[in-house]
Amino acid sequence: MSYDTKNLRNVVLLGHPGSGKTAFAEAMLYEAKATNRLGKVAEKSTISDFTNIEQERGNSIFSTQMHASWKDSKINIIDTPGFDDFIGEVVCSMKVSDTALMMLNARAGVEVGTEIIWEYVEKFKTPTIFVVNHCDNDKANYETTVEQAKERFGHKVLAFQFPIETGIGFNKIVDALRMIMYVFPDGGGKPEKQPIPEEHLGRAQEMHNALVEAAAENDEALMEKFFEEGSLSESELAKGLTIALANQDIYPVFIASAERNMGSGRIMGFINDIAPSPADRPAATLEDGSSLVCDSSAPTTVFIYKTLSEPRVGMVSYFKVFAGTLKAGDELINQENRGTERMNQIFLANGKNRESVNELKAGDIGVTVKLKNVHTNNTLNTKGTSIQIEKIKFPSSRIRVAVQPPSKGEMEKLMKALHQIEEEDPTLIIEQSAALKQTLLHGQGQLHLDIIKYRIEKVNDIAMEFIKPKISYRETITKEANDSYRHKKQTGGAGQFAEIHMRIEPWYEGMPPPHDLPVRKEDVQELPWGGKLVMVWSVVGGAIDAKYSNAIKKGIMSKMEEGPLTGSYCQDIRVCIYDGKMHPVDSNDMAFMLAATMAFKTAFKEAKPQIMEPIYDLEILCSGDVMGDVMSDLQTRRAMIMGMDAEGHYQKIKAQVPLAELYKYSATLRSITQGKAKFNRKFAHYSAVSREIQQALMSAHEEMAEA
């Protein structure tokens, strides 16, 4: 049987690494009897972390689809990795989820990982429930954790529960919504319900009143009833709470110990009763700006949020039914390429286990295999409809490395394997840089790229080595220079002759025309690598025929593409051709091209040339106690600090740093801050390098050219 839309709950687990997402998913599955054994991360036996590499590392790396039945609902559970190296996995999971469980580690409170993911909670407007986990730890501090959450995420953070004690003795949770105390047996599981002890009643009542107020915000009748009767039941509050949660007017806080299997059942109950179904969320936005209501009787629309290739199976496609009812055997059209895809088998997943089903209704999440030509972000529709669900926007890359080219035969194999991973992982970008003559990988962090290397080596059995990527420098000039060049060759028959007089100047926006030369023609070229080349034809009296201007430009462009100092791209230069000579027989395009190249090269060197390097805007978020380390490290990177701001109990540092100084920054930052910092970077502009660096770059280039 398939679940109706109103009985579906799509829940994504979010949080800092180690907050207990995978363990909590396991506890949920176990409590719901979706598994008969409570697996442990440490024993590599959880349903969610089923790949070798996750088990080897003890961290999640991929998002994992699971599901469990609880009372009337089917709860789809997506576990995500906490390391922001794998943020792509988080973003695609959030796209198809209707509620988030944000795990907080009661030992550490709000962590950098929480902060980073919060950005996406706001972007997706995901209704969110906080789960204060690790309550059995002797360093757990429930109060501080909730306080930090309130400080950071505002007064909408609303505690629904509190523990009688945390640490080793943790086994009692007071529930202010139901006004009851749960007492767990050793080993967790189903708790016994007891009245709230006298001494805790006041606190519980106060919390209950706050919940009622939040629920009755838009419901006066409910508020009156509360004043008359002094308390309300969960079912009376349900409607108001559902609206408040769905609108992000409240962020309920619950309590758990995933390891001891305490608290997950109550949270699933709350998800069943209160969390929004897919139909309670705003209609899905489409690429064309219109929207699609989650309705199981509409024509079928399926969105692919993730793909993964599995050994022996091939491509596995993870999807959400955004509208209609998907039936096994349905033929759908891929909106992207108009190809027909037959959904021969549809499955529900629990990690690596798949169970075949006949149909899935709007709002449900599932898996299929053996589609022909389907990628992440594709929308598949019933014939006759052409809907494209708004695509997931993956974050831009934060680090890059170059690949040491192996032997030629190996290179082909390597590229094939890399492209396969690129297909599954939209946060990996492979670039064959002609300018740098390197194959570059762009990714989210050192760990991200290291895991890719590991997969290539283990799965594809190809040796792969990362090397330092080259920097894409630019060359320009800082003053005017004039030069002429005569190209003359007499070899037997027809000779070659061309003479050119040129002036080169630094070009800038709004530059006036030359004051002492006529402008016969001006050609402004936007360069593909940024900046401009402006050619001015100032030749008078037919000294050179204008028909040679194209060849001259070609000659100059050849040097613009491979600058005279280091072979880098040149930019922002104006060239005026103002005189020259030609020969009635020996002049031709080739001769003028060569003369232009030579004249440009010499003039360039006389025009006080300058090498420019790419500068990046760097934004670092770190906890206050590691701020000093982050700052002193930045000082070794030629960084310019642009500002510092407090964000909750975190610090945000803004700086501008040359790309050349950012090599391996992700790994360094993680190690100097013990993972208590995250960063983002974005290209800002090109800026002149110092004279010493310029000299060093030129010498290195010369050496390489000689070699």
Q: Write out the H or E segment, with its range, that includes residue 457.
A: helix 446-458
Q: What does each C-alpha distance from 325 to 278, 343, 370, 663 come to in angstroms?
A: 14, 12, 20, 49
Identify what 648 binds: Mg ion, ligand GTP, none; CB under 5 to 8 Å per kind: none
468 binds, among Mg ion, ligand GTP, none (CB under 5 to 8 A by kind): none
Of 454 and 663, which has the nearer Cβ to Mg ion? 454
Q: Which is nearer to ligand GTP, 306 or 400 (CB)?
A: 306
Dihedral of the alpha carbons of 238, 244, 245, 250, in degrees to the nearest 10: -120
Q: Residues 427, 395: contact at Cβ < 8 Å?
A: yes
* CB 95, min distance to ligand GTP, A: 19
Q: CB–CB of 387/381 below 8 Å?
A: yes
Indicate the residue among 45 and 345 with the shorter CB distance to ligand GTP. 45
How far apart are the C-alpha atoms of 61 and 82, rounded to whole Å? 8
Smallest separation (angstroms) from ligand GTP to the CB of 613: 36
CB of 58 to ligand GTP, least distance (A): 7
Point out which residues bind Mg ion (CB under 5 A): 21-22, 60
**Residue 189 Cβ, how far from ligand GTP at the closest point, in Å?**
14
Give the separation between CA 299 and CA 286, rounded to whole angstroms.
15
Residue 134 or 398: which CB sits closer to ligand GTP?
A: 134
Binds 265, which of ligand GTP, Mg ion, none (CB < 5 to 8 A, cut-off by type)? Answer: none
One-letter identity of residue 596: A
Restricting to residues 293-332, which ones interact with ligand GTP according to CB under 6 A? none
Tokens 């389907």 correspond to: 374
> What residues numbered 70-89 form the site for ligand GTP, per CB under 6 A?
81-82
| CA–CA separation, 217 and 228 (whole Å) | 17
Using CB distances below 5 to 8 A depending on partner kind, what does residue 140 bind out of ligand GTP, Mg ion, none?
none
- CA separation, residue 82 to residues 59, 534, 628 (Å): 8, 50, 25
Report 425-454 residues binding ligand GTP (CB under 6 A). Answer: none
* Nearest CB to ligand GTP, comparing residues 55 and 680: 55
By C-beta, is 18 or 276 nearer to Mg ion? Answer: 18
Q: How many angstroms separate the Cα of 166 from the Cα of each of 152, 177, 606, 622?
A: 23, 20, 74, 28
Number of H helices, E strands in the chain: 16, 38
Binding partner of residue 121 among ligand GTP, Mg ion, none, CB cut-off 5 to 8 Å per kind: none
- Residues whose CB is less than 8 angstroms from the CB of residue 667 and which lie 6 or more positions away in sequence, other chains included: 445, 446, 447
- Whichever of 19 and 379 has its CB closer to Mg ion, that residue is 19
Q: How many CB atoms lie within 10 A of CB 167?
A: 14
- Given a contact cutoff of 8 angstroms between Cβ atoms, the answer to whether 9 and 74 are in contact is yes
Kind and range of the H or E run holding 559: helix 549-561
Q: Do residues 234 and 178 make contact, with C-beta atoms less than 8 angstroms apart? A: yes
- Angle 366-368-369 from CA coordinates, rounded to 5°: 160
Q: Quote helix, strand, coil % in the chain, to nearest 5.
A: 30, 30, 35
Q: Are strands 474-477 and 609-623 parallel, antiparallel or unpaired?
A: antiparallel
Indicate the residue among 54 and 98 with the shorter CB distance to ligand GTP: 54
276 binds, among ligand GTP, Mg ion, none (CB under 5 to 8 A by kind): none
* Residues paired with 620 in a beta bridge: 653, 679
Q: Report how many residues bind ligand GTP under the rule CB under 6 A.
A: 23
- Residue 106: CB minimum distance to ligand GTP, A: 8
CB of 182 to Mg ion, least distance (A): 25
CB of 260 to ligand GTP, least distance (A): 6
Distance of CA 447 to the CA centre of its chain: 14
For ligand GTP, the nearest residue by Cβ is 82
Instruction: Give dist(CA 612, CA 658) in Å, integer.
Output: 10
Window 562 to 601, contacts with ligand GTP (CB under 6 A): none
18 binds, among Mg ion, ligand GTP, none (CB under 5 to 8 A by kind): ligand GTP
Q: How far is the CB of 92 from ligand GTP (least distance, A)?
A: 16
Cα gap 445→142, rounded to integer Å:
32
**One character per residue 220-259, x = contact with ligand GTP (rule: CB under 6 A):** -------------------------------------xxx
Binding mask 535-564 for ligand GTP (x = CB under 6 A): ------------------------------
Nearer residue to Mg ion within complex by CB, 324 or 351: 351
Rounded-to-integer distance, Cα 322 and Cα 96, Å: 9
The CB-of-54 to ligand GTP minimum distance in angstroms stands at: 8
Q: Which is nearer to ligand GTP, 41 or 362 (CB)?
A: 41
State the DSSP H helix or E strand holding residue 650, giving kind and residue range, or none if neither: strand 650-658
* CB nearer ligand GTP, residue 263 or residue 531: 263
Shortest CB 35 distance to Mg ion, Å? 16
Q: Which does 524 bind (CB under 5 to 8 A by kind): ligand GTP, Mg ion, none?
A: none
- The nearest distance, CB 639 to Mg ion, in angstroms, is 33
Minimum CB–partner distance for residue 150 and ligand GTP (Å): 22
Please identify, using beta-carbon distances, which residue of 82 and 564 lies nearer to ligand GTP: 82
Least Å distance between CB 620 and ligand GTP?
21
Output 81 or 564, the one with its CB closest to ligand GTP: 81
Q: Which does 696 bind (CB under 5 to 8 A by kind): ligand GTP, Mg ion, none?
A: none
- Give the whole-angstrom CA distance, residue 243 versus residue 347: 32
Closest to 62 measured CA to CA, from 38, 41, 45, 78: 78
| Residues 4 to 43 in contact with ligand GTP, rule: CB under 6 A | 15, 17-23, 40-42
Q: Of 471, 475, 701, which Cα lies nearest the Cα of 570?
A: 475
> Please, which of residues 130-189 interact with ligand GTP by CB under 6 A?
133-134, 136-137
Question: Which residues are paired to 647 by β-bridges?
Answer: 650
Residues making contact with ligand GTP (CB under 6 A)? 15, 17-23, 40-42, 59-60, 81-82, 103, 133-134, 136-137, 257-259
